[in-house]
Amino acid sequence: MSVSLLREHSEQQFAEELHELAQADRRTRPPNWKLSPWAVSTFLLGGRLPNGFEVSPKYIGSQRVIEIAVATLATDRALLLLGVPGTAKTWVSEHLSAAISGDSTMIVQGTAGTSEEAIRYGWNYARLLAEGPSPQALVTSPVIRAMQDGKIARVEELTRIPSDVQDALITVLSEKAMPVPELNTEVQAIKGFNVIATANNRDKGVNELSSALKRRFNTVVLPTPATDKEEVEIVQRRVASLGRALELPAEPPALEEIRRVVQIFRELRGGVTADGKTKIKTPSGTLSPAEAISVVGQGLSLAAHFGDGVLRSQDIAAGLVGAVIKDPVQDRVVWLEYLETVVKERNGWKDLYRACREITE
């Protein structure tokens, strides 16, 4: 393992944790699983092992969600992780495969251009021409390799893949086999094989799964952070590292401003104010934590380059309005209503109200 890697795979980065978990794990493991379901969820959620070893949490959030995901894989059903962008779908999928198979690299990246070969198999045309169809001329996909090794195959952004290509997965998921008619043979999956797919449930213009395919997945929706404390922490940590990377001269952002941004995001996303007393309309955008991070980041850079270096409401306002108003008509109404009925009344928010009103009018 080289130290100069830009990014290590989960199984490389957490090799020690996986090893300790395997040592401590006394529970039954499903065939070909490196760890028991209990240990897999511990790997994701963190915890202390009997020997005092501390497993770091990989996913901060609902324990329930991870348990459902692990239980799904244990019942050999395929797992579909749904969520808005920035809810750690890929992250969870990578760590699940690393914990279960010790290998998170059997991956198919879904794009509009993903072809059936990427999911099934292709041909080495030089060999095909020289020798005719033979197993040696076959170029296997990560899915086939996972089937042969009894590991987890990952399909990223499943809904971006054209529908007809998606359906190539149906046989794999129901028959657990991949026919190769050219060679009059098939690849049968050995125990331990499964598929984790991720998809974005907010995008427009994606290819909805056919109901035949959908039926073969258990769907787990990854939620946005449950508490504002959690979310403030995530945003704060990311913004701090972001500021360092960009070498911004601005002061580190006041926690107060971050709290306000997170609160606005959470309120608009949830359709109800933080005190739970007033309902509000929800805009069409996703307003994920990732966007909150970018709003604060943008504000920081505005403050650094055009302001006095201190993050103020004016610096936040522009990014905020841009993040909320994605649809110029509907979202504008939502945003104005929110400003007028919520922000305006709130103690100590007058500056933000004025700054936002100036930009929105």
Partner 1 sequence: MTSSPAQNVQIFGIRHHGPGSARSLRKALEELQPDIVLVEGPPDAEAVLPLLAGEGMEPPVAILIYRPDQPGQAVYYPFATFSPEWQALNYALKSGIPARFMDLPQALSLAMEPVRPAGLPTGEQPVELPQEDAPEGELPEPGVLPGEDSEAEEGQTDETGLETEDKALPEAQSDPLEWLARAAGYSDGERWWEQMVEHRQDSGDLFQAILEAMTVLRSEIPPRPDPQGRESRREAYMRQTIRAAQRENFQKIAVVCGAWHAPALAKIGPAKEDAALLKDMPKVKVQATWIPWTYGRLSYFSGYGAGIESPGWYDHLWETRNDVAIRWLTKVARLLREEDIDVSSAHVIEGVRLSEALAALRDRPLPGLPELNEATLTVLCGGSDTPLRLIQQKLIVGERLGQVPGETPMVALQQNLAAEQKRLRLKPEAAQRTLDLDQRQTIDLERSYLLHRLNLLEIQWGVKERTTGQRGTFHEIWRIQWQPELAVRLIEASMWGTTVLEAATSKVRHQAAAATTLPELTRLVDQTLLAELPDAVDDLMLRVQNVAAVSSDVGHLMEALPPLANVLRYGNVRKAHSGPINAVVEGLLARIIVGLPGATGSLNDEAAREVDKNLVAVHNSVSLLQNEEYSRDWQRLLVRLAGQTNLHGLLAGRCCRLLMDAGAFDIEETARRMGLALSPGVEPPQAAAWVEGFLSGSGQVLLHDTRLWQVLDDWVSTLDGEIFQNLLPLLRRTFSAFTNSERRQMGEQAKQRGSGRVAVATGERDFDYRRARKVLPVVARLLGLPEPEVAEQKIPAGEN
Any contact of residue 176 with partner 1 (CB under 8 A)?
no
214 binds partner 1 (CB under 8 A): yes
Q: Please, what is the minimum distance in Å from the beta carbon of residue 215 to partner 1?
A: 7
Closest CB 267 distance from partner 1, rounded Å: 11
219 lies in the binding site for partner 1 (CB under 8 A): yes
- Residue 171 touches partner 1, criterion: CB under 8 A: no
Nearer Cβ to partner 1, position 303 or 352? 352
Q: What is the CA angle 146-104-135, rounded to 5?
A: 25
- Nearest residue to 281 via CA among 290, 289, 272, 292: 272
CB of 15 to partner 1, least distance (A): 25
Among 12, 32, 171, 218, binds partner 1 (CB under 8 A): 218
Q: Which of 77, 88, 75, 90 is nearest to 37 (CA)?
A: 75
Question: Is the distance from CB of 77 to CB of 217 less than 8 angstroms?
Answer: yes
C-beta separation of 45 from 57 below 8 A: yes
Q: Which residue stretch of 76-84, 128-136, 175-183, 260-268 sits at the interface with partner 1 (rule: CB under 8 A)? A: 76-84
| Tokens of residue 310, six digits | 């201190």
Window 295-354: residues binding partner 1 (CB under 8 A): 329, 333, 336-337, 340-341
* CB nearer to partner 1: pick between 119 and 268: 268
Going by the DSSP 8-state scheme, the letter that residue 202 receives in this structure is S
Cα-based distances in Å from 133 to 138, 168, 183, 306, 323 = 8, 21, 7, 65, 54
Give least dist CB 201 to partner 1, A. Answer: 8
Q: Are 81 and 89 in contact (CB under 8 A)?
A: yes
CB 118 within 8 A of CB 162: no
What is the CB neighbour count within 10 angstroms for residue 26? Answer: 9
- Does 70 sit near partner 1 (CB under 8 A)? yes
91 lies in the site for partner 1, by CB under 8 A: no
* Sheet strand arrangement including 194-200: 107-109, 152-156, 194-200, 78-83, 217-221
* Residue with Cβ nearer partner 1 (215 or 237): 215
What minimum distance in Å lies between the beta carbon of 221 and partner 1?
4
Of the residues 9, 12, 38, 170, which one makes contact with partner 1 according to CB under 8 A:
38
Quote the CA–CA distance of 146 and 149 in Å, as a whole number: 5
CB of 314 to partner 1, least distance (A): 23
Minimum CB distance to partner 1, residue 72 (Å): 6
Using CB under 8 A, which of 19, 48, 64, 191 touches partner 1?
A: 64
Q: Minimal CA–CA distance to 312: which of 271, 268, 274, 350?
A: 350
Q: Which of residues 274-303 bind partner 1 (CB under 8 A)?
A: 277-281
As a whole number of angstroms, the distance between CA 266 and CA 156 comes to: 27
| Amino acid at position 200, single letter | N
> Whose Cβ is closer to partner 1: residue 67's or residue 117's?
67
Name the minimum Å distance from CB 23 to partner 1: 20
Give residue for tokens 């360092």: 244
* Binding-site ranges for partner 1 (CB under 8 A): 37-38, 41, 64, 67-68, 70-72, 74-75, 77, 80, 82, 201, 211, 214-215, 218-221, 271, 277-281, 329, 333, 336-337, 340-341
